[in-house]
Amino acid sequence: MTSYRQPGVVLTDHRFTVPLDHADPSGERIELFAREVVASARAEADLPWLVYLEGGPGFGARRFIGRQAWLGRALEEFRVLLLDQRGTGLSTPVNRQTLPLHGGPEQQAGYLGHFRADSIVRDCETIRPLLTGGAPWTVLGQSFGGFCATHYLSTAPEGLETVLITGGLPSLDATADEVYRAAYPRVARKVEAFYARYPQDIGAARRIAEYLAEHRPVLPTGYILTPEAFQSLGIMLGGGDGSHQLHYLLENAFVRTPKGPALSDAFQESVATALSYAGHPLYAVLHEAIYGQDSRPTQWAAERVRGEFARFDAAKTLAGEGPLYFTGESIHPWHFDSDPALRPLREAAELVAARADWSPLYDPARLAANEVPVAAAVYHDDMYVDTEHSLRTARAIRGLRTWVTDEYEHDGLRAGGPHVLDRLLALVRDED
């Protein structure tokens, strides 16, 4: 272990080895990285533990400096563990460079099957006794981290003191198709609100999409920028400041050149950064698999369901006069053609999409008998997680208390972290 300091905190880096497949503990092992954070003034105190599960899938835990965002509030009473979930951050990485170590596409797809919420929770239960001496801990789950926390409640509630969920109460039984069928209307509302705020961007977005349809430029990173790829920038609209960020990106799209208008270098760089999955390829490969629970393959549900919503068809839009609709948190087969970080994973991703033997992630009967204190922030029109799905799940988990709010978007824990965490702690302790 390595300990060091930042303003107001002491950090300790931990590394653990766990089975790749918890059903085969004598088989291949992988490494987990986690960063312990404690307030400097309480570094030697016997404090309860809070483990943070980041959103995703495929993102490592947030890298805070000092007591940023919600962390400062947590450090008032907890020793915090920022876990890089398996395959992310400084844990054994999963990407186009490392997956070939495990064989061809079929072997890679089998390997990738061990990186869902069920394995993440088993990891937590493996390392918890090593840190807490066996005591249960509090879990704070953001977005996909809340999906993991719900699985935790279903399978290992004995390890939990309290559960706090922000923007991450999943449907217990919705298929991937049903998830995206509920998602596209929400995305449409966000796009319409964006254009209402910035009406000048209706024309700007069309001009960019028309240029892309004609030229199909390749960005300096090797990313092929198609109209569909451009539409996927709508994922930004799910954050509190996302509409403003998207507006500023669009206003800088073109420059005049001797050969006519061209995409500016600054625009290309910003778009390449926003669209690349080089830093989180598991998000693309496993995004639909987080909804897989039965014998039906997910089979590119977002792409299939999109056909039911004609307004998201870029070609039809450009053939007419209506506004271009951006898409949201969805992964499509073309991602594995456009993004150079994903191209080598295309065959494995196809096999993951075709998989038809995913194990159930949630146990409704056990959740109905839940005894762990749980509180969840449900954002009123969350673009990423359907509000009605979340509320239906909230009603199915015994004792869960909800805070339904439109004060924040999906990133409320980041944008209003101390307030959000304080409110959830008050709820779970019956203080509010």
pLDDT digits (tens, 9 = 90+) for 191-201: 999 999 999 99
Close Cβ partners of 221 (under 8 Å, ≥ 6 residues apart): 272, 276, 340
pLDDT over 80 at 332, yes or no: yes
CATH code assigned to 2-173+362-428: 3.40.50.1820
**What is the pLDDT of the chain when averaged over all its residues?**
96
d(CA 361, CA 4): 38
The residue-averaged pLDDT of 379-395 equals: 96
pLDDT over 80 at 269, yes or no: yes
pLDDT over 80 at 1, yes or no: no
Given its phi and psi angles, is residue 62 left (phi above 0), alpha (psi -120 to 50 degrees) or beta?
Answer: beta
What the block records as the tokens of 411 is: 């990133």
What the block records as the tokens of 382 is: 């969350």
- Give me the residue spans of the domains in the chain: 2-173+362-428, 176-354
pLDDT > 70 fraction of the chain, expressed in percent and rounded: 100
Predicted structure pTM score: 0.96
Helix (H, G, I), strand (E, B), or coil: what is residue 353? helix
Active site residues: 143, 357, 410
pLDDT digits (tens, 9 = 90+) for 335-379: 999 999 999 999 999 999 999 999 999 999 999 999 999 999 999
The residue-averaged pLDDT of 402-419 equals: 93
Close Cβ partners of 257 (under 8 Å, ≥ 6 residues apart): none
Which secondary structure element, helix H or strand E, spans residue 255, and what is its range?
A: strand 254-257
Which of 424, 346, 320, 316 has the alpha carbon at shortest distance from 74?
A: 424
d(CA 299, CA 333): 10
pLDDT over 80 at 295, yes or no: no
pLDDT digits (tens, 9 = 90+) for 222-247: 999 999 999 999 999 999 999 999 99
**pLDDT band for position 2 (50/70/90)?**
confident
Which secondary structure element, helix H or strand E, spans residue 168, and what is its range?
A: none
pLDDT over 90 at 309, yes or no: yes
The residue-averaged pLDDT of 279-290 equals: 97
d(CA 85, CA 61): 8
d(CA 15, CA 13): 7
